[in-house]
Structure 1
Amino acid sequence: MESPQNVCVQPDSSLEIMKAGSVLRKAKSRIWRGHRHYRLMEDCKTIAYKSTWAMNSYSTFSVADVEAVREGHESEVFLSVADEFPPERCFTLVFRGRRGNLDLVADTAEEAQAWIQGMQTLIENLENMGESQKLDQWVSDLFLKADINKDGRISFKEVRRLLKLLNMDMNEDHASSLFKMADKTQTGLLESEEFVQFYKMLTQRMDVLELFQDYSSDGQTLSHCDLEEFLREEQLEGDRSHDYALELIKRYEPSDTAKANTTMSIDGFLMYLTSADGAIFNPEDLRLFQDMTQPFSHYFISSSHNTYLLEDQLKGRSSIEAYIKALRRGCRCLEIDCWDGSNGEPVVYHGHTFTSKILFKDVIATVAKYAFKTSEYPVILSIENRCNAEQQKIMAQLLKDILGDMLLKTTVDGKVNVLPSPEDLKGKVLVKGKKIGGLEDADNPGGGEVSDEDDSAEQRRDSLTNESLPSDSKKSKRNLTKELSDLVIYCKNENFTNFEDSRINGKPYDISSFSESKARKIIKESAADFIQHNTRQITRVYPSGLRTDSSNFCPQDMWNVGCQMVALNFQTAGLEMDLNDGLFSQNNHCGYVLKPEILRHSEQHFNPDRPQDRKDYCPLILTIQVISGQQLPKVNNKEGSIVDPFVRVEIYGVPSDQAKQETSYIENNGLNPCWNETLEFVVHTPEVALVRFVVEDYDMATKNDFIGQFTLPFSCIQSGYRHIHLLSKDGTSICPSSLFVHINITEAS
């Protein structure tokens, strides 16, 4: 571990301009705009700002909290004042989690470019850091936080305060002993390098040291043979252990001398264990590894509900930012609720509510720009059409004009009786909606009536609070224009009658939508039939309209029967989105995950309620030794507040696999708690199972506080000694917080 340092790795003219500071106009609305002074602090990690009329009272935010920088008019605020500020002077800082964007206007285009390029450089530097560098950075932050008088040294009094900030209640005599050992200059103060030594002693990983010494021939290093044995025996790397050991020494050993001798020190061993190679998620499954050439009904598709909302569905704000966030998160099916706009332009919002409205054309322009930045595989626009004929024609024209060649306007190689694959549809945007006739009726001369009698109508009825639709709304008819109908290719909304009717009359391009309650009812009564249906056609499931707080349902039951589009409110953090993120974190986060074979082929006859009936039934035993935790975050900023952490492991899958177990809690230690407890699960259908690790702060009197979590598919777990890098409630990294576990997977006897 190196001495505390900042993240400015090399001189940069943009960074120098940022350090000098700029007066930037903060735009919040057409009405409110204020000037503030912004500058990059010397640590290159913090932006300080204050109102121009304030004296020296700067506020700050961390560069690490900024997810992206956008140039020009890339927000609702800038779109609303586009005529006032030239785009070359405008930029937007996008923050992680729920914090709103920061829209800024520079005095000149050159100044704007300096901030844009500088921020991008800083963000890239942070993203390219390895786990060891991130830890160094974290320690640097600790030193700066502890150094209250900013003299570059910290006293024992400051260290005691730091231990509270570090989430640890340590015996004062022990802390004093470590402090004196680190104080080589015997001044009663620790300088930066001495502080690093103090921190290393404070957080010494005895669990890793003991493991290291178990395999070290000389107790000091791991020879190539020692490391190879560890990889073969513990990490179950098998035949590749010999070459892999050499690769790991080259990649993670910090000592050139050790590298030359093909040995690994304890520092190199710890760097390996905390790296992506030592993580619980198999790095091979993070790349694009699945077959992408099967019909796209064979895939789970990351899908969003009420995508336009940033908050609840009664009075929340509609925003193009919500579409950008969903697309950046890997979402491939976006919902667009379209209504007649007062000025002749279609608008998007949650009808019959107080949610704000955004223009349809702005949504489509956003899709055009961001659709394929995270994934090159097809985006599906699920359009809820409530517009009159004239505005439908405008919608169709906007789709064609803005999306251009991205919009799928014809079948792929004339395919009608079989769906194309995600590979066939790379870079394409598909429209999902009502259609007059079928793909076979391409020459239909005009528009026509389509029925509203589907589950979308149920969704709309559920969403009303003090209003009710007309009594005949369930059976209403709506005129659909040919212009909009013609753009529906491969994603035709079709009313669901029963499985027999769908089997006989259904087309591969028919999509049926179900509310969560209706889907659950069908799963309870006919799970096996539902699976068969989903091998032939696509099903979309959406949350009940009664969820006015935009909460979510658990998607696992729907995935168990092969439902492809399980639409969730992406704006609402929690267990359900953790599962969604966990499932779609594999396969290069491309938004498409190939369903397991038992859910793709009709001859499998799989029933999630009776997994033991399948011919290749082979349950597995998952054994998890929860060893320790590292640098867990505080959940309460009150003075002296320290967490009492425990770990819960949750299995989500077929009904017989649903299970939870937890460790005991450790009092007053969030810095380096040790559990050394073993949890064991039987997993009957590992192909569809997800495993969620949750860390909470135990509280006897009130609800336990959430600390962090990590969710991944069972099939992506690496066996052996692994670190689990925890995520926040919003799904963002909370480095360097982690768990250290040992994983063993065996066949049940």
Structure 2
Amino acid sequence: MSRQSFKVCFCFKRIFKIKGAEPPDDIKRLFEQYSENGTMTLEQLHTFLLNFQEEKATKEDAQAIFNSLKHLNIFQRKGLHLEAFFRYLFGDLNPPIPSKVHHDMKAPLAHYFLYTGHNSYLTGNQLSSYCSVDPIIKALRKGVRVIELDLWPNATKDNVDVCHGGTLTTPVELIKCLRAIKDHAFSASEFPVVITFEDHLTSNLQAKVAKMVTRIFGNMLFCPESGYLKEFPSPESLKKKIIISTKPPKEYLEMSMGEKENSMKKKDLAHKESRGKEKMDVNNVPDDQNEPDEEEYGQDEDVQNAVSEYKNLIAIHAGKLKGGIENWLRIDPDKVRRLSLSEEELEDAAKTHGTDIVKFTQRNLLRVYPKGLRVDSSNYNPLVGWMHGAQMVAFNMQGYGRHLWTMHGMFRANGGCGYVKKPDFLLNTDPNKEVFNPSAVLEVKKILKVKVYMGEGWHLDFHHTHFDQFSPPDFFVKVGIAGVPGDVVMKKTKKKEDDWTPVWDEVFIFPLSVPELALLRIEVHEYDVSEKDDFAGQTCLPVSELKPGIRAVPLFDRKGEKFNSVRLLMRFEFV
């Protein structure tokens, strides 16, 4: 055998030789502490759970763990050996956060963050991708609770399409979108779905939409008995309900002739610029400023009836009062509404009116949406909206990147039901207490201690040459915090060379001033000396939901889909 062929054979063996995962020293010590003669009985496992993992663990919980391990050869009737105990800790029965709804769901809707989509019908970029029901269905299956549809007259002006107006996006019929929402609205969560309409329709088409919505959703629709709501109902009271939110058509009728003509000219210009493929801010017209782009409304009886039918469907009224930010944030004690701001408008308003925004969101809904220059469907930092109490931080769910991972992480909270109760400090209305100031420098409230033990599963979920053609991968972990500016940080482990089951055994300390809004960011990469490091998994977890103890942390791909086998073993402590 030549030296060259021998070398190839040697590398081939290195690729496929997978070292078995051995329990870390901490786990060995814990097993010795809670076992006797190499065996952990049911009672001993229950004691371990109570003291180290679950304060409210029952014997039934311990029995469920026993039952889950019975199929393994390492399990014996008398109890768990070390290897079985290790497999429990590194398995599906030991997640890092609760899997069930556990927040109070009986408060008004304004007291929750809602999992919110932007241009929910787009399959890709904002200018030329297809419009389809597929991204709507995918979002609902992930637990998204707010779906945005842009309504436009179709080519023959006799029906309604959904598309991103003034762009080259290919439309989809509204009726298909509504049917998809009906069929999949509650596949992931029984809590209400809000449909936000960005409306560019004439009164006759609004009447058509009213009939379409009523026919398809029927008793699923939540329609207030009279006009504006004085306070929003609770998610609990709205289970399995569909809620429509848009600007009431009454405002369109009250526009002056000059306002309408100016609006028409602006839309014509935007449309021409888009068709010329110039870069334009196609999203940066707030949805509550869009106007119909057909003939002027008349005041005859048919128009009034059409407007009435459509208006009666609207449970959450959107609108931006005339004037500047002071008027936008004006609070009416007799009615609640939804205000929409672009990410840039929110950033500007936050500089001078941060506490006013928090006050507004204690009763009213604030929706934040991406600036128009994000034509690639990228996203912005959602924490800016959340720390000001914004309930509907709208994201391009078909997008990509770390901000989207943060959004996924926030809504893993509360059992993934799409509604997360806002922290009490954002809801405080006590006149004797100061309103939360998002720009204030705050003292450390809690310290999170994170230990990264090891990882496994890459050899099962990735091809053996995915990271390196001739040797096992060199993995390292990045661990950090997404949160208020003072809490944001990112750290990383050393790289573990040539190992499919890497062991790091490193500890990280994170002082947190607002732990209620903090999310633990975790990324695994494979070190590459000559090129960009390879992605090997990620997750984001709400710190407020983390279960202390040693936990198995599943990882996700770039798009947020869970890997079958890749996971980390970690320990969480609050000091």
TM-score tier by shorter-chain length is: 0.7 to 0.9
Corresponding residue of 1:422? 235
Amino acid paired to 1:266: L
Amino acid paired to 1:511: R
Question: Structure 2: where are the runs of 5+ without partners?
Answer: 1-7, 298-302
Corresponding residue of 1:357? 171
Corresponding residue of 2:313? 487
Amino acid paired to 2:90: T
Same amino acid, percent of matched pairs:
28
Runs of 4+ in 1 over 6 A off after TM superposition: 157-160, 255-259, 450-454, 460-463, 467-470, 473-476
Deviation readout 1:525-559 (Å, 9 max, x if unpaired):
32222111110210000001111111111111111
- Quote the offset at 1:461 in angstroms: 6.2
Deviation readout 1:495-538 (Å, 9 max, x if unpaired):
47434664454764311101111111222332222111110210
Corresponding residue of 2:40? 222
Corresponding residue of 2:205? 391
SS at match of 1:405: helix
CA distance in 2: counterparts of 1:301 and 1:348, whole angstroms: 23
* Farther-moved stretch of structure 1 (623-632 vs 207-216): 207-216
Corresponding residue of 1:270? 86
CA distance in 2: counterparts of 1:309 and 1:652, whole angstroms: 27
SS at match of 1:681: strand
Corresponding residue of 1:249? 66
RMSD of aligned alpha carbons: 3.4
Aligned mate of 2:451, from 625, 636, 651: 625
Deviation readout 1:616-643 (Å, 9 max, x if unpaired):
x761111112111112354863632642
The answer to whether 1:735 aligns with 2:554 is no
Aligned mate of 1:523, from 350, 355, 365: 350
- Quote the offset at 1:467 in angstroms: 8.2
Amino acid paired to 2:535: F
Corresponding residue of 1:566? 393
Q: Is the 8 A contact 1:298 1:600 kept in 2?
A: yes
Amino acid paired to 2:514: T
Aligned counterparts, 1:277-676, within 5 A: 277-281=93-97, 283=98, 286-343=99-156, 344-411=158-225, 416-436=229-249, 448-449=254-255, 464=274, 466=278, 478=292, 479=297, 481-495=307-321, 497-499=324-326, 502-505=329-332, 508-603=335-430, 605-610=435-440, 612=442, 619-632=445-458, 634=462, 637=466, 639-640=469-470, 642-669=472-499, 671-676=500-505
Corresponding residue of 1:40? none
Amino acid paired to 1:280: P
Amino acid paired to 1:736: S
SS at match of 2:175: helix
SS at match of 2:130: coil
Aligned counterparts, 1:70-219, within 5 A: 161=12, 164=15, 202-205=20-23, 207=25, 210-211=28-29, 213-215=31-33, 217-218=35-36
- Quote the offset at 1:468 in angstroms: 7.6
Amino acid paired to 1:665: K
Question: Computing the radius of gyration over CA atoms, which structure comes out larger, 1 or 2?
Answer: 1
Aligned pairs, number? 534
The answer to whether 1:231 aligns with 2:77 is no
Corresponding residue of 1:39? none
TM value normalised by structure 1: 0.65
- Quote the offset at 1:691 in angstroms: 0.8
CA distance in 1: counterparts of 2:448 and 2:543, whole angstroms: 9
Amino acid paired to 1:383: F
Q: Is the 8 A contact 2:112 2:421 kept in 1?
A: yes
Question: Structure 1: where are the runs of 5+ without partners?
Answer: 1-156, 167-174, 176-198, 439-445
TM value normalised by structure 2: 0.83
CA distance in 2: counterparts of 1:330 and 1:519, whole angstroms: 25
Q: Is the 8 A contact 1:253 1:268 kept in 2?
A: no
- Quote the offset at 1:402 in angstroms: 1.6
- Higher normalized contact order (CA 8 Å, seq sep 6+, divided by chain length): 2
- Quote the offset at 1:354 in angstroms: 1.2
- Quote the offset at 1:279 in angstroms: 2.4
Aligned counterparts, 1:56-71, within 5 A: none
CA distance 1:630–1:436, change in 2 (3 Å) = same
Q: Is the 8 A contact 1:253 1:265 kept in 2?
A: no
SS at match of 2:357: helix
